């Protein structure tokens, strides 16, 4: 598929130009003939043209109307393919994926300006997903697979780590795209877990604890958690004590298990 229009920076359009990278992404998805696949931002179809030959059902969500039109022209007659001219952050993803059971695979070279938001949307529909293979900015990928007590470790590491096994598959240099992005990219695979990796009590409380703990990286955990409003200062001190966590630590030193322990006790208080 081709288009003469220049790529739109505002839509994060860095099109894949390297067939080896395309092949590696497709291989990482471990596709099977009956698979249902969601491709986010198919663009000019670098991945799409391979997917359409290999899977049972293909759902394409593209925000750029001209590219969505072009995809409809190419694949409109194909009963297996559905083109949605829409914003992945606004469409009712749960409804779109309904009927595929837990069998959806998600493949995308994501627009980098919205990649974290997309990750959280995908986390919300994880029960419908079997595997995701996503191209991200390398910096974002490094954060996802980071260990506690390093600068990359953060909100996305912990929140997504609760629900996914994540693996950085390979790095992709800027020269593989047109136009070239300023930074390296990386492909990450995600396998959703049937149950959270650890019990956290109320998940909304867990999210508030984690976001609160990282909101001010230079402040102590105790001060950060006070700002969340999840518990009065005395109760918070007791919770930290009951969890065996020193409130003078920085949030970034806590493991997922420690965040979960805090969340369980704070959830119980919130009842």
Binding residues vs ligand SAM (CB under 6 A): 11-16, 40-44, 46-47, 61-64, 67, 87-89, 109, 111, 114
Quick check: 68 and 85 in contact, CB under 8 A? yes
Pairing of strands 15-16, 177-178: antiparallel
Smallest CA-to-CA distance from 104 within 39, 169, 148, 41 is with 39
Name the closest residue to ligand SAM (Cβ): 41
CA distances (Å), origin 96, targets 59, 104, 196, 263: 9, 11, 24, 32
> Closer CB to ligand SAM, residue 38 or residue 210?
38
Residue 35 or 258 having the CB closest to ligand SAM:
35
Least Å from the CB of residue 67 to ligand SAM: 6
Our CB check for ligand SAM shows the closer of 111 and 212 to be 111
Min CB(230)–ligand SAM separation in Å: 32
Give the other-Cβ count within 10 Å of 229's Cβ.
9
The smaller minimum CB distance to ligand SAM, of residues 188 and 243, is found at 188
Q: Which of 96, 115, 112, 110 is nearest to 47 (CA)?
A: 110
Beta carbon of residue 186, minimum distance to ligand SAM (angstroms, whole number): 13
Measured distance CA(237)–CA(176) in Å, rounded: 51
Least distance CB 112 / ligand SAM (angstroms): 7
- Closest contact distance (angstroms) between CB of 210 and ligand SAM is 25
Of residues 38 and 230, the one with the C-beta less far from ligand SAM: 38
**Closest residue by Cα to residue 127 from 95, 159, 161, 102:** 102
Residue whose token pair is 């829409």: 86
Residue 223 Cβ vs ligand SAM, minimum distance, rounded to whole Å: 36
DSSP, collapsed to helix, strand or coil, labels residue 12 as coil
Identity of the residue, 137 or 267, whose beta carbon is nearer to ligand SAM in the bound complex? 137
């Amino acid at each position: 598929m081709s288009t003469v229009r220049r790529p739109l920076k505002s839509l994060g359009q860095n099109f894949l130009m390297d067939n080896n990278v395309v092949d590696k992404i497709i291989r990482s998805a471990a596709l099977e003939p009956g698979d249902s696949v969601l491709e986010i931002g198919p663009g000019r179809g670098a991945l799409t043209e391979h997917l359409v030959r290999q899977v049972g059902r293909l759902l394409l969500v593209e925000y750029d109307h001209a590219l969505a039109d072009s995809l409809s022209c190419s694949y409109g007659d194909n009963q297996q393919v559905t083109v949605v001219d829409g914003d992945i952050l606004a469409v009712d993803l749960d409804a779109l994926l309904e009927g595929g059971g837990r069998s959806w695979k998600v493949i995308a070279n994501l627009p980098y300006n919205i990649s974290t938001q997309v990750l959280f949307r995908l986390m919300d529909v994880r029960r419908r997903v079997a595997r995701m293979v996503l191209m991200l900015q390398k910096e974002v990928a490094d954060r996802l697979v980071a260990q506690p007590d390093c600068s990359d470790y953060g909100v996305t590491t912990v929140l997504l780590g609760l629900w996914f096994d994540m693996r950085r598959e390979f790095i992709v240099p800027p020269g593989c795209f047109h136009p070239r992005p300023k930074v390296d990219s990386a492909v990450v695979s995600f396998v959703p877990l049937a149950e959270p990796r650890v019990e956290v009590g109320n998940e909304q409380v867990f999210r508030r604890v984690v976001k609160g703990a990282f909101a001010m990286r230079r402040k102590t955990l105790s001060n950060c958690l006070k700002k969340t409003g999840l518990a009065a200062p005395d109760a918070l001190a007791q919770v930290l004590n009951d969890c065996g966590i020193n409130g003078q630590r920085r949030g970034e030193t806590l493991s997922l298990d420690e965040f979960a322990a805090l969340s369980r006790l704070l959830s119980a208080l919130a009842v």
